[in-house]
């Protein structure tokens, strides 16, 4: 147990950390239906003292307003499972932004052209909306290492044949580590974004 605690607690586990995950954006296809990510709603439900680390929560000793919730992507824990400090995105980023980036990448990988404000044809592009029901990272202690995990659940809607009735896409990522460092949190969330993009691509395949 001493080994577990030492492995898990490397770094400032009791204070908040700020990390900046990302996903590599591929180029838009030359041809293909044009879409725009109209809106991503952060529909995650936070609990004060969840029994499972995969459930979003925040350190009650720190400010926990809506702006902090929007930036929260993980909660640190010690080797015995006790919840500690939060893992946040930079002030100019939110979890909804990361979901938007992953969804956009999934559409591009499926052959769609994803337009952004300022692009020709942006207003005429097919609007895509998303409800981010889950987007969270956590770790599970082990004897010699920890398992870092990330889970996404996103409901997509768009006036496209495959999405007219809405479709829920899910994705999970895991990685084995010796310690839950800030770089480890950043990497597992980035990996989670990549897996979410793959799930979006798979969900869109029937439309092609």
Mean pLDDT (whole number) for 49-64: 91
What's the pTM value of the predicted model, to 2 decimals? 0.91
The per-residue DSSP string of 47-111 comes to -SS-SSTTS----TTS---HHHHHHEEEEEE-TT--EEEEEE--TT--HHHHHHHHHHHHHHHTT
pLDDT in the model for residue 79: 73
CATH number at residue 174: 3.40.50
**Tokens found for residue 81:** 């499972």
The two three-digit tokens of residue 63, written as one number? 């400010």
Question: Residue 172's pLDDT is what?
Answer: 98
Residue 43 CB burial class (10 angstroms; 0-12, 13-18, ≥19): middle
- Concatenating the DSSP letter of every residue in 20-42 gives ----PPPPPPSSS-EEEEEEEEE
Residue range 153-179, pLDDT digits in tens: 999 999 999 998 999 999 999 999 988
Contacts of 61 (CB under 8 A, 6+ apart): none
Range of 171's domain? 2-18+27-207
Q: Residue 92, Cβ neighbours under 10 Å: how many?
A: 8
pLDDT tens string 84-122:
899 999 999 999 999 999 999 999 999 999 999 999 999
What percent of the chain shows pLDDT beyond 90?
77
Q: Residue 75, by phi and psi: left (phi above 0), alpha (psi -120 to 50) or beta? A: beta
CB 29 within 8 A of CB 110: no
Three-class DSSP category at 162: coil
Number of domains in the chain: 1
């Amino acid at each position: 147990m001493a080994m577990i605690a030492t492995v898990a607690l490397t770094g400032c586990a009791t204070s908040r950390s700020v990390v900046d995950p990302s996903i590599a954006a591929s180029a838009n296809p030359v041809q293909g239906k044009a879409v725009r990510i109209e809106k991503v709603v952060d529909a995650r439900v936070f609990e004060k003292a969840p029994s499972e680390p995969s459930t979003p929560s925040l350190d009650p000793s720190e400010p926990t307003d809506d702006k902090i919730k929007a930036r929260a992507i993980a909660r640190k824990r010690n080797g015995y499972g006790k919840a500690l400090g939060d893992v946040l995105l930079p002030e100019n980023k939110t979890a909804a932004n990361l979901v938007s980036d992953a969804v956009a990448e999934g559409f591009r990988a499926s052959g769609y052209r994803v337009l952004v404000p300022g692009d020709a044809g942006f207003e005429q592009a097919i609007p895509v909306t998303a409800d981010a029901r889950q987007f969270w990272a956590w770790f599970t202690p082990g004897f010699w290492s920890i398992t870092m995990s990330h889970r996404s659940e996103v409901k997509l809607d768009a006036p496209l044949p495959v999405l007219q009735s809405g479709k829920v896409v899910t994705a999970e990522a895991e990685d084995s580590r010796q310690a839950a460092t800030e770089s480890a949190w950043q990497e597992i969330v980035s990996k989670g974004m990549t897996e979410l993009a793959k799930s979006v691509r798979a969900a869109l395949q029937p439309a092609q």
